[in-house]
Amino acid sequence: MSHVFPRHTRIRPPIAARGEGAYIYDNTGKAYLDGSGGAAVSCLGHSDPDVTAAIKAQADRLAFAHTGFFTSEPAEALANRLIAHAPEGIDRVYFVSGGSEAVESALKLARQYFLEIGQPTRHRFIARRQSYHGNTLGALATGGNAWRREPFAPLMVETSHISPCYEYRDRQDGESPEDYGLRVADELETEILRLGPENVIGFVAEPVVGATLGAVPPVPGYFTRIRQICDTHGLLLILDEVMCGMGRTGTLFACEQDGVRPDIVTIAKGLGAGYQPIGAMLCSDTIYQAIEAGSGFFQHGHTYIGHPMACAAADVVVEKLTTGGMTARAAVMGGKLDTALHTTFGQHPHIGDIRGRGMFRGLEIVEDRATKTPFAPERGISKAVKKAAFEAGLICYPMGGTIDGRRGDHVLIAPPFILTEAQIDELTGKLSAAFAQILG
Ligand code: PMP
């Protein structure tokens, strides 16, 4: 018997034994094509020798030095590398061990910023329904996934939620994408005015919505309007790129493609590429200077922040993503993946929408394509697709349509950027067989 506390107590998963390129092998030797990089994590695949060499070298040199006493060479190098490629105005990096910690740090930094500049009444956040920002309590409060939130309500961080930018479901007949974007962005202003701007800290959003909607990008102009509204009312714009950042959408930061300037941006998953647990919160110099001029101390911290081995691994990952050309490869292979998905599923009677950017793609499964009616949640369609695909040796990341009883099931495709054209064919072939088995 196993003493590991598993995710699902009634499911005993296979034992992962080794990884090579785009594949994970279990201890019986069965190969699984990693079509979702786990959960959009393994951007470089599973056996990158440069990353593992950097980890080994750093382990020999210095595994750990507490940030209460030291910074470290890998942390300094990684921060410099990230800032050299970060959106305009982003100037400082705070390292943590994962996505939820990055979001939690962002929420606390944003609150402390307003305390430092003498606006203590600002204490609320606004975020979007059908979003996910992590499972710790603050991140859970900003997330808009009702199924995850409800068991723990009331949550301590006061957050209200507006509509996501979800064109497939919500753009009305005859409405242009731009008009639709302005309409949903303007919900932010309505909510700020309802709460009183003096009570609101900031707006939290994923540029491309990952787990909860399945790779849904915004329409053109949406984030421009969001930025304007934040500026008008003195809010901070916090972009959560934990899943969509680090080259996943074909640019290092997803928000580059929307021309939007965040005040704080969070990253994780692809930063360590699965080789080490690491996340980061990046912020503007304005925020940093407010802390510097005020208390001089960000009232936060964890034992493992800025872990030298994690930073050493991530420094090689980001080098590969930038000068090494892997983000450019994600853009090119992502285009090929998109073409293959459209060719294979474009006419499928139960695939309502194929969307995404770069190596971040989503398929929305519906019962009726014409009316976009989802399958009843009790059918458990996305779970069944996941199971059938996994048995056939394909890892993909599905989510069920239980969030508001209106959204369809979806499958998220987020493979390593090293994927070859032959592996794209293997992915679409296995997914097609899984759909045939489950959807008929
Ligand atoms: N934000 C987003 C957008 C995410 O997708 C996730 C993880 N799926 C998180 C935050 C939380 O990250 P972690 O699981 O590393 O805590």
Three-class secondary structure of residue 18 per DSSP: strand
pLDDT at 71 over 60: yes
Residue 254 in contact with residue 357, Cβ under 8 Å?
Answer: yes
- Provide the pairing of β-strand 124-128 with 200-205: parallel
- Alpha-carbon span 127 to 202, nearest angstrom: 8
Is residue 408 within 6 Å of ligand 1 at its C-beta? no
Average pLDDT of the chain? 95
Distance of CA 296 to the CA centre of its chain: 31
Q: What share of the chain has pLDDT > 70, as a percent?
A: 98
Q: Report pLDDT digits (tens) over 391-426.
A: 999 999 988 755 555 567 999 999 999 999 999 999
Residue nearest to atom 1 of ligand 1 (CA): 133
Residue nearest to atom 13 of ligand 1 (CA): 99
Both structure tokens of 19: 């990884």
Binned at pLDDT 50, 70 and 90, residue 202 comes out as very high
Average pLDDT on 42-63 reads 98
Q: Report pLDDT digits (tens) over 313-340.
A: 999 999 999 999 999 999 999 999 999 9
Residue 241 Cα: closest atom of ligand 1 = 3
Q: Looking at 307-349, which runs of residues are DSSP E strands?
A: none
- Alpha-carbon span 146 to 188, nearest angstrom: 19
Is residue 411 within 6 Å of ligand 1 at its C-beta? no
- Alpha-carbon span 146 to 153, nearest angstrom: 10
- Alpha-carbon span 343 to 366, nearest angstrom: 18
Average pLDDT on 380-389 reads 94
Residue nearest to atom 15 of ligand 1 (CA): 99
Residue 206 Cα: closest atom of ligand 1 = 3
pTM over 0.95: yes
- 424 φ, ψ to 5°? -60, -40
Bridge partner list, 361: 356, 413
Q: How far away, in angstroms, is 272 Cα from ligand 1 center?
A: 13
Residue 210 Cα: closest atom of ligand 1 = 5
Q: How far away, in angstroms, is 134 Cα from ligand 1 center?
A: 5
- Provide the pairing of β-strand 279-284 with 264-267: antiparallel
Is residue 274 within 6 Å of ligand 1 at its C-beta? no
Question: The tokens 């309590």 sit on which residue?
Answer: 137
The amino acid sitting at 68 is G
- What is the sign of the dihedral through the CA atoms of 57, 61, 66 and 68? negative
Three-class secondary structure of residue 175 per DSSP: coil
The reported pLDDT for the residue numbered 400 is 76
The CA-based diameter of the chain, rounded to the nearest angstrom, is 64
Residue nearest to atom 9 of ligand 1 (CA): 134
Q: Which CATH class is domain 52-165+196-207+233-321?
A: alpha beta
Is residue 134 within 6 Å of ligand 1 at its C-beta? yes
pLDDT at 20 over 60: yes
Bridge partner list, 254: none
Is residue 104 within 6 Å of ligand 1 at its C-beta? no
The reported pLDDT for the residue numbered 7 is 81
Is residue 102 within 6 Å of ligand 1 at its C-beta? no
Residue 24 in contact with residue 395, Cβ under 8 Å?
Answer: yes
Is residue 100 within 6 Å of ligand 1 at its C-beta? yes
Binned at pLDDT 50, 70 and 90, residue 2 comes out as confident
Q: Report pLDDT digits (tens) over 340-366.
A: 999 999 999 999 999 999 999 999 999
Q: In degrees to the nearest 10, what's the CA dihedral of 59, 60, 64, 70?
A: -130
Average pLDDT on 1-11 reads 84
* ipTM of model: 0.99
Residue 268 Cα: closest atom of ligand 1 = 15
For the chain, the domains span: 52-165+196-207+233-321
Three-class secondary structure of residue 159 per DSSP: strand
- What is the sign of the dihedral through the CA atoms of 65, 105, 89 and 243? positive
The reported pLDDT for the residue numbered 191 is 98
Q: How far away, in angstroms, is 394 Cα from ligand 1 center?
A: 22
Q: How far away, in angstroms, is 416 Cα from ligand 1 center?
A: 18
Three-class secondary structure of residue 333 per DSSP: helix
pLDDT at 166 over 70: yes
Residue 271 in contact with residue 318, Cβ under 8 Å?
Answer: yes
- Alpha-carbon span 165 to 167, nearest angstrom: 6
